[in-house]
Structures are given as C-alpha cells and as structure tokens.
Amino acid sequence: MRTLDQWFTEYAVSHQNPKNKAIHYICVPAIFFSIVGLLMSIPSGLITNTLKLNAPLIENWAFIVLLFVLIFYIRLSIAMAVKIAVFSALCLIANYYIGQVFPLWIFSIGVFAIAWIGQFYGHNIEGKKPSFLKDLQFLLIGPAWVVENLFSRKQ
C-alpha cells in the first residue's frame, strides 16, 4: 500500500499548472460537497427506522458512506483522516441546511456538473489526463491533496 506522500507525489505530476491547481482547490471540494448532498438526498427511512435517533445529520446515506471513506484515510494518515472528518462534518451540516430551503438533489447535481466541467477544463490547461483515469483511488486522494496544499504549513 502506498503512503500518503507517495499518493501526493503521483497526484502532483498532473497538477503543476497554477491555473489547474487553483481550479482544483475550488472544484475538488465542490465535488466532494455535492456527492455528500446527493447521498443525503437518497431516502433514508431504513436508517432512520433502524437507529431511531432523530438525528438527521447521521441518519442518512452520506454519513454511512463517509464512515467507510474515513477508513480509507485512517489507513493513510490519522491526521489527514481528522481533517477530512472535519470537512465531511461541515459538508453534512451545510447540505442539511441547503436541503431545508431548496431541493438538495437538484442543487447537488448542479454543483457536481459545474465542478466537473471546471476539473476537465483545468486538465485541458494542464495538458494531462486526470489522475483518477489511472486509478480510481485518486478520487479520494484529490480532497486530501487539496487539504494538504491549502492548509499545511509547508511552503
């Protein structure tokens, strides 16, 4: 299994252009956010009826999927898993409130489509294919790479 630094090194190969990096800093979190929203839009009566917690932030499919996603990050880095967990919690909370005033699935599909257009435009600028075409695990490395690049003390 590759280390987080090995993943980042390989991911960085197709993310050198400053414009592509800037696009990724916006679009990767937007895609993550929209996927959380789409998962929260799936009817979760089974979960709600089973847990009976009256806690909509955790009684939904997004929360369940995010638990499994966090296992992936924990295996790479506890520190990164904590950062992604915080971001995931913020996504759950924001999507919950968006869903109170607007159909969440419509909003999420819109964000998802626009963000992916941005991603492919960035890779067109870069002149390199997206990393996930080589290995789907890069779909989970992208958010960690953004967190690392935007919030690390390394310069």
Q: What is the pLDDT of residue 152?
A: 73
- Kindly give the interhelix angle for 61-76 and 138-151, rounded to the nearest 10 degrees: 70
**What is each CA distance from 109 to 18, 31, 37, 96, in whole angstroms?**
27, 10, 9, 15
Per-residue pLDDT of the chain (155 residues; tens, 9 = 90+): 889 999 999 999 999 999 999 999 999 999 999 999 999 999 999 999 999 898 999 999 999 999 999 999 999 999 999 999 999 999 999 999 999 999 999 999 999 999 999 999 999 999 998 899 888 999 999 999 999 988 875 54
CA 151 to chain centre: 16
CA distance 48 to 3: 37
What pTM, to 2 d.p., does this model score? 0.92
Counting Cβ atoms within 10 Å, is residue 106 exposed (0-12), middle (13-18) or buried (19+)? exposed
CA distance 23 to 122: 6
CA 143 to chain centre: 5
